[in-house]
Amino acid sequence: MPRTKKQNADIKELSIEKIRDAGLKLFATKGLAATSIVDISELAGISTGLMYHYYKSKEDLYAELVKSAVTSANAAVLEVAEMPLSPMEKTTLLAKNMLESIEKYEMTAYFFVLMPQVFLNKLIPKKVKPFLKEVLLPKEIVKKIIIAGQQTGEIVKGNPDALSVFFFSSFTGLCTYKLMMGKQFILPSVEMVTAMLLNKSYK
């Protein structure tokens, strides 16, 4: 008896998810070049041939994962930025959300580490290039929050670009160390990561 349409769709869905999970883990930790198709298919528990039913190439899978990472990161930042909150509250909420995500979801650290690789790797697959600009979008959004906060006095003085980059880069560094240290890693508190931005003497 052949499978029903529904069954096939479910199987397909499941296989794709297994491939994406395996790919993300391996790409983030080992990089595009050091991750082989065999690695991915073995971790996903499927054959190499099946990988090519769902993804045209290794770089295709890579591009899709990068796209996801960028898109969801941007959405998360935008969501907070558009809330009717003060700069200080936005900053704190953003930090809280990111730390929670890093703590709860294993994949978050992988996403954070994966993104800079896209830039560092000079031989970026063409499909990934359209996302290059978007990677720096959150930095721009936070920069606006910082400028607003500096005007109200909630946020420390200083070059807003430098502050924004430092704020984001510290999360990247954090995720790098999380992957590096495994269970030994201890996440900083919201206060710790926002201390660089918030003006202690405000009000």
Partner DNA sequence: AATGAATGAGTGTTCATTCAT
Partner DNA sequence: TATGAATGAACACTCATTCAT
Among its own copies, DNA, none, partner that 177 touches (CB below 5 to 8 angstroms by kind): its own copies
Does residue 1 bind DNA (CB under 7 A)? yes
Task: Pick the piece of the chain touching its own copies (CB under 8 A) from 7-15, 54-62, 70-78, 112-120.
Answer: 112-120
In which element (H, E) is residue 37 found?
helix 37-44
190: contact with its own copies by CB under 8 A:
no
Q: Note the residue count of the chain.
A: 203
Regarding 129 and contact with DNA (CB under 7 A), the answer is no
Listed residue (168, 118, 113, 169) closest to 142, CA to CA: 168
Q: What are phi and psi of 155, to 5 degrees?
A: -115, 145
The least distance separating DNA from the CB of residue 64, rounded to whole angstroms, comes to: 13
Q: In the chain, what's the furthest Cα-to-Cα distance?
A: 73
Give counts: helices (H), strands (E), the chain: 10, 0
Three-class DSSP category at 57? coil
Interface contacts to DNA, rule CB under 7 A: 1-4, 7-8, 11-12, 14-15, 35-38, 46-50, 52-53, 56-59
User: Which residues are at the interface with its own copies (CB under 8 A)?
Assistant: 28-34, 113, 116-117, 119-123, 135-136, 156, 158-159, 161-163, 165-166, 168-174, 176-177, 179-181, 185-189, 191-193, 195-196, 200-201
